[in-house]
């Protein structure tokens, strides 16, 4: 699984104090706090089943080398998750700063930017074994989708708590907005870590020696054709 973040900050300046010629003004008071609007959009389309590729390529994609009891990859599920955020900021301060800013609206999007299944070319297409391998990979898909939904719900709760208390004082509005964005990223990272950990545990529970041996006992005729294909016969 790959997690990536793309960030966008929107600025909504508040009423500024009149500019004067006095020395640096004192730190401004923050604008009146109102309940910020927080939304989380979950984007989780159906995974794509991509054209088959050689088993050796699937092994390379996960950085493995042929070894042990299970030297071949017969299927692979790939998930790439991204999150994006937009923050509308309310502020108070002098025209040229300093300012105090707080979030007026926070919009988050958690998405499967990529979610795909691919089988090894050596697996007889459309046959019994292909069905078994595809069913195994769809278990991984369900882990990905279930953990993404759970993360979106947790993200909504965390973002609401953060937005209700977040504020930043800075020399100017742009610096304050950037500081708010950095603070939001720090608040979100534990949620993403729990997502990664939950996925690793879920996938490990599926990819067991017992499961691989079970698949190896199914569909004898397809297994024979698979062995011949892997040997280049």
* pLDDT tens-place string over residues 1-60: 444 444 455 555 554 444 445 556 667 788 898 899 999 999 999 999 999 999 999 988
Question: pLDDT, tens digit, for every residue of 169-186?
Answer: 999 889 999 999 999 999
**Which contiguous run of DSSP H or E holds residue 24?**
none
Please give the Cα distance from 160 to 64 (Å, whole number).
Answer: 41
Q: What is the pTM of this model?
A: 0.84
Closest to 79 measured CA to CA, from 203, 210, 207: 203
Region of 130 (left: φ > 0; alpha: ψ -120 to 50; beta: rest) is: alpha
Please give the Cα distance from 26 to 29 (Å, whole number).
Answer: 9
């Amino acid at each position: 699984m790959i997690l990536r973040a793309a960030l966008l900050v929107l600025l909504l300046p508040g009423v500024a104090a009149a500019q004067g010629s006095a020395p640096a003004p004192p730190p401004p008071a923050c604008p009146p706090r109102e309940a910020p609007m927080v939304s989380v959009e979950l984007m989780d389309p159906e995974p794509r089943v991509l054209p088959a590729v050689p088993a050796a390529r699937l092994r390379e994609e996960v950085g493995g080398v042929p070894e042990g009891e299970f030297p071949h990859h017969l299927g692979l599920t790939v998930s790439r998750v991204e999150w994006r955020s937009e923050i509308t900021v309310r502020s108070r301060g002098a025209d040229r700063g300093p300012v105090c800013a707080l979030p007026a609206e926070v919009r988050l999007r958690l998405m499967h930017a990529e979610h795909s299944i691919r089988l090894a070319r050596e697996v007889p297409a459309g046959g019994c074994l292909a069905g078994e391998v595809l069913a195994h990979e769809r278990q991984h898909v369900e882990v990905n989708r279930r953990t993404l939904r759970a993360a979106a719900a947790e993200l909504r709760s965390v973002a609401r708590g953060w937005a209700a208390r977040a504020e930043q004082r800075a020399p100017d509005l742009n610096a304050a907005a950037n500081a708010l964005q950095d603070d939001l990223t720090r608040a979100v990272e534990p949620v993403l870590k729990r997502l990664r950990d939950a996925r690793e545990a879920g996938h490990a529970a599926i990819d067991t020696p017992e499961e691989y041996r079970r698949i190896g006992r199914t569909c004898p005729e397809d297994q024979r054709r698979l062995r011949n294909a892997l040997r280049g016969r």
